[in-house]
Amino acid sequence: MKNKWSCLAIVCLASLLLSLDLTVLHLALPSLVTDLGANSTQLLWIGDIYGFALAGLLVTMGNLGDRIGRKRLLLIGAVAFGAASAVTAYAPNAEALIAARALLGVAGATIMPSTLSIVRNVFTEPGERTAAIGIWSGMSAAGFAVGPVFGGLLLDHFWWGSVFLINVPIMALVLVGGILLLPESRNPDAGRLDLTSVVLSFGGIVTVIYAIKEAAHKGLEHADVLLSGAAGILLLGLFVWRQTRLAEPLIDVRLFSRRAFSASILTNMLAIFAMSAMMLMFAWYLQLVLGWSPLQAGLAQLPGGLSGAVGGILAAKLVQYIGRNGVVALGLAMNAGSFLYYTTLGTELNYLTLLPAMVIGGIGVGFAFTVNNDNVLATAPVQRAGAAAAVSETAFELGGALGIAILGTVLNSAYRANLVLPAGVTGEAAQESIAGAVGTASALPAGQAGELMVAARTAFLEGVHLTSLVTAGLLAVVALLALVGLRGVPKVIPEEVLARAHS
């Protein structure tokens, strides 16, 4: 086998790019309102559709990698992701951008489970495996941090599509490095991919997401919400039922009976649910409330993401002192504390007071994600590493997409509820979002424009405070769930224990 740490570098680069692609878009959202005329609903779809397509196909692609080879699938995905990025960069309108982002999600689904399953197969010694997953998690966190900086640099000099073009050279490097360095691995006993299960899993996940998204806009009682929600639950129920009757299921549902697996999946999903809302919230707050440039906003968020990388690396050592449940619970509690601080944000900011909260929260995220990902992979048989990685990342992407849809809607709803338009100012765009208010103000006389922006910033801050408080409470509850749900999971989960567990 080629040098395992070189392999880790390649898969980490691919993982970094996928997380980077999420955060560069947040800084581009105000530009999309101006250049493409995107309304608030289209903005949510532009942000959500990538994660929806990704989440819907991860289980299928993870199983496909187990069958045809994880390296092969990753290389196919690298080519597809680079091509889809070029298409996205030149989308002529909001509808085309939504479609192109969906293609990016499909391509990303071929890469994500491959990266983590390759790590699982290359690093078989328990201590090295946890450390490697910590580095992998840290690089993902770094992507969230570096994305806004790259995006800010590009948006200060070029049009919004440039934030997607940066994917092309990076994926070319992943492709070349993968061909030269990555070993191939697959499940030698894998059977035929069950197409019925593929349809049920994709349809169920996407339909449930659609129902939740529509509920956030229309209310739970709306007919579309009730019908799509019922259809999604039915499809997922049929999917689970079918898995119990297949010799080679897409997901071994028996894994969910193991606390280390199910509790880690749940806490990861709820944690990223909260974190995705924070990234969206800060992108708007720093630019539209404080008036910072995209580059300044990106640099401001950099310490939080980089501290997540530090937390990922430290997590493996900390497990030895306070256990797996202690590390996850501590990380989530640290993150809850940072969100409590965000409830004090105002129209002026002393950045040095914000910095500690961002760093503490980032380290906490690194703690939680590293240990949870290691729990999931260590619990599954090595020959089904792709399927296990896909389940973990499906929960991750599903939580991220739902966080943007639901908490983003909470943010916008609070904005609309608290906005008081100045006398003589009208406009639906200003009432929809703070970005719409910026566009409306640009066409008004200076006096009215100033009054409108004061009202919009005040209303938006009310939304920030409410969203932060809700998120802090959610993270505190999840920390308690992790403390209880992961109690008793061994600090070290060796391969021979796994072999007995799945024999």
298-322 pLDDT, tens digit per residue, is: 788 788 777 887 888 888 889 889 9
Whether the Cβ atoms of residue 404 and residue 51 lie closer than 8 Å to each other? yes
Whether the Cβ atoms of residue 67 and residue 190 lie closer than 8 Å to each other? yes
Is pTM beyond 0.85? Reply is no
Residue 151 and residue 435: Cα distance in Å, rounded? 18
Q: Is the pLDDT of residue 500 over 80?
A: no
Q: Give the rounded percent of residues in the chain with a pLDDT score beyond 90.
A: 15
- Is the model more confident about 93 or about 275? 93
CB neighbour list of residue 367: distance below 8 Å, 6 or more residues apart = 311, 312, 314, 315, 318, 327, 328, 330, 331, 334
| pLDDT of the residue at 44 | 73
Q: Give the rounded percent of residues in the chain with a pLDDT score beyond 70.
A: 90
Residue 109 and residue 111: Cα distance in Å, rounded? 5
Q: ∠ CA 268-269-272 to the nearest 5 degrees?
A: 80
pLDDT in tens, 251-266: 777 778 777 788 888 8
Residue 405 and residue 426: Cα distance in Å, rounded? 27
Residue 169 and residue 160: Cα distance in Å, rounded? 17
CB neighbour list of residue 134: distance below 8 Å, 6 or more residues apart = 312, 313, 314, 315, 316, 366, 370, 374
Whether the Cβ atoms of residue 82 and residue 351 lie closer than 8 Å to each other? no
Range 129-149 average pLDDT: 76
Range 169-190 average pLDDT: 85
| pLDDT of the residue at 499 | 39
Whether the Cβ atoms of residue 455 and residue 419 lie closer than 8 Å to each other? yes
pLDDT in tens, 377-418: 777 776 666 677 777 777 776 777 677 767 777 888 888 888
Lowest pLDDT segment from 210-224, 262-276, 304-318, 464-478? 210-224
Structure tokens at 313: 């690396």
Structure tokens at 288: 């539209």
Q: Please provide the average confidence, as pLDDT, over all residues in the chain.
A: 81
Residue 346 and residue 460: Cα distance in Å, rounded? 10
Range 121-148 average pLDDT: 76
Q: Is the pLDDT of residue 39 over 70?
A: yes
| pLDDT of the residue at 28 | 72
| pLDDT of the residue at 53 | 83
Range 426-454 average pLDDT: 81
Cα distance from N-terminal residue to C-terminal residue, the chain: 26
| pLDDT of the residue at 383 | 65
Q: ∠ CA 498-499-500 to the nearest 5 degrees?
A: 90
Each domain of the chain, given as residue ranges in start order, spans 4-194+246-501
Query: 10 Å Cβ neighbour count for 6?
Result: 13
Q: What's the number of CA atoms in the CB half-sphere (13 Å) around residue 142? A: 17
| pLDDT of the residue at 328 | 93
| pLDDT of the residue at 503 | 35
Domain boundaries 4-194+246-501, CATH class: mainly alpha
